Amino acid sequence: MNQKKSKTPMIITLVLVAAIYVAVFIAEQTLPANSMLFTVLKKGATYALVAVSMNLLNGFTGIFSLGQAGFMLVGAYMYGIFTIPIAQRASVYQYFDGGMIQFTVPVIVAMILAGLAAAFFAFLIGLPVLRLKSDYLAIATLGFAEIIRAIFQWNGLGPITNGSNMLRSFPSFNDFNIRDGQGNVTVYLSTLIPFLMAGVCILLIVLLINSSYGRALKAIRDDEVAAEAMGINLAHHKRLAFCVSSFFAGVGGAMLAMYQTTVQAKSFTSAMTYEILLIVVIGGIGSVTGSVLSSFLFVACSEWWLRFLDEKQMIGTFEVPLLRNGFRLVVFSVIIMIVVLFFRRGIMGDKELPDLLSRRMKSEGRRKK
């Protein structure tokens, strides 16, 4: 009986991932810290986590939710609220007498709080919303994200959320660098740490997906009626997926706060959710590897590789037409539409890296015979 799965592709994958981490560490120590590469890597890691968490819902459970920006907002705010140093609070909360909360917690605790708060909101929202069907669920979650945004901007909660003003001065990715007495950086960790954060979270999601629970979620995605007939409690499992996904979206929100160094509720619009959804679609709905790859590609294109489209370019004395601010996004949208219309399976379809490797090895093995 050939029930044992070959372990080699798995090992190759792990080695590859480890190599990437080592490469990131080395690059960070050697390349100039203001290189565009690091911006891309930091934001890419953040988006990768958020995209994978969205994929857990939309791709693996078949719940088409558009509430991601709302849960990221909750996470970002929780992180900011609990980590702004006491000394800075008077200036941050200048319109609210320094705010109500006068203590801080360590970064890691704040991140977990960020996730838990987002999961808690998800739990509440899930009670009415998860009973809805496909597109109604999408629009209801989108609506909830807007409601969350309004609540966090409300002046009545100002002593906690700072109303519609921004939160700032909390620890950012750059604060992870290790400095000597004079304040010079001795070891750069500002890219490696977000990589580790996202890596650990994505690993947890992958473990969940490949567990008995993950199979149940995929069963729900494939056929709700059959899944229920197999004894899978739909409400319970959908709620679990919704809360877990939101937990990691919340952690992703905290990471986004660290990346941006400031947080303001008005930036967490439905447009942000759409962007993440498009990342998931480009990567392949139902592929973690795809979401991760596509996050980095998306961020690299929008922040770096396509930047030249936004500036005047001369070829000799010829000025290339059309190139000016905003053209990058137009080109970008066209690429996205091409993927959506003609390459609907995205980069990876529903395959993962180990799947590709094992297929590769199989076909090579066949050739040898």
Partner 1 sequence: MWDTIFPYLLSGISVGGQYALIAIGYTMVYGILRLINFAHGDVFMVAGIIMVYIAASGLPLWLCIPLVLLITVAVGFLIERAAYRPLRSAPRMSVMISAIGVSYMLQNLVLYITGGLNKQYPTIPGISDTVAIGAAKTKVVTVITPFLVIILVVALVMLINKTKIGMAMRAVSKDFETSQLMGIKINNVISMTFIIGSFLAGVGSILFFTNYPTVIQTSGAMPGLKAFVAAVFGGIGSIPGAVIGAFIIGIMENIIKGLDVILFKAGVISAPLGLATFSDAFSFALLIIILVVKPTGLFGEKVTDKV
Partner 2 sequence: MSENRNNVLKLENITMQFGGVVAINNLSLEVNQGEIVALIGPNGAGKTTAFNCITGVYEPTNGIVYFHGEPIVVNHPQGKMVKQYAGINGDLYREKKPVAHTPDRITHMGIARTFQNIRLFKSQTAFENVLIGTHLRRNSNMFTATFRLNAKEEKANREKAWNLLEIVGLAEEGKELATSLPYGKQRRLEIARALATEPTLLLLDEPAAGMNPQETDELGSFIVDIKNRFNLTVFMIEHHMNLVMDISDRIYVLDFGRQIAEGTPEEIQKNPVVIAAYLGVEEE
Specify whether the CB–CB gap between 130 and 235 falls below 8 A: yes
327 binds, among partner 1, partner 2, none (CB under 5 to 8 A by kind): partner 1
| CA–CA dist 50, 292 (Å, integer) | 9
| Tokens 């954060």 -> residue | 197
For the segment 315-344, give every residue that binds partner 2 (CB under 8 A). Answer: none
CB of 163 to partner 1, least distance (A): 8
For partner 2, give the closer residue by CB, 134 or 186.
Answer: 134
Contacts with partner 2 by CB under 8 A: the residue count is 31
E strands, the chain, are 167-168, 178-179, 185-187, 262-263, 314-315, 318-319
| CA–CA dist 21, 17 (Å, integer) | 6
| CA–CA dist 120, 246 (Å, integer) | 9
239 binds, among partner 2, partner 1, none (CB under 5 to 8 A by kind): none
> In degrees rounded to 5, what are phi and psi of residue 65?
-100, 140
For the segment 244-273, give every residue that binds partner 2 (CB under 8 A). Answer: 244
| CA–CA dist 216, 369 (Å, integer) | 38
| CA–CA dist 142, 146 (Å, integer) | 7
256 binds, among partner 2, partner 1, none (CB under 5 to 8 A by kind): none
Beta bridge partners of 263: 167
For partner 1, give the closer residue by CB, 192 or 265.
Answer: 265
Burial of 45 per CB tally in 10 Å (0-12, 13-18, 19+): buried
231 binds, among partner 1, partner 2, none (CB under 5 to 8 A by kind): partner 2
CB of 76 to partner 1, least distance (A): 18
For partner 1, give the closer residue by CB, 193 or 347.
Answer: 347
Specify whether the CB–CB gap between 127 and 140 falls below 8 A: no
Specify whether the CB–CB gap between 185 and 33 falls below 8 A: yes
100 binds, among partner 1, partner 2, none (CB under 5 to 8 A by kind): none
355 binds, among partner 2, partner 1, none (CB under 5 to 8 A by kind): none
| CA–CA dist 202, 45 (Å, integer) | 10
Among 63, 119, 232, 281, binds partner 2 (CB under 8 A): 232
| CA–CA dist 115, 123 (Å, integer) | 12
Specify whether the CB–CB gap between 171 and 104 falls below 8 A: no
359 binds, among partner 1, partner 2, none (CB under 5 to 8 A by kind): none
8 binds, among partner 1, partner 2, none (CB under 5 to 8 A by kind): none
For partner 2, give the closer residue by CB, 216 or 292.
Answer: 216
Residues making contact with partner 1 (CB under 8 A): 64, 128-129, 131-132, 134-136, 138-140, 142-144, 146-147, 149-151, 153-156, 163-164, 225, 269-271, 274-275, 277-278, 281, 324-327, 329-330, 332-334, 336-337, 340-341, 344
For partner 1, give the closer residue by CB, 193 or 279.
Answer: 279
x/- site string to partner 2, residues 202 to 231, per CB under 8 A?
Answer: --x--xx--xxx-xx-xx-xxx-xxxxxxx
- Which parts of this chain interact with partner 2 (CB under 8 A)? 1-3, 204, 207-208, 211-213, 215-216, 218-219, 221-223, 225-235, 240, 244, 286, 350
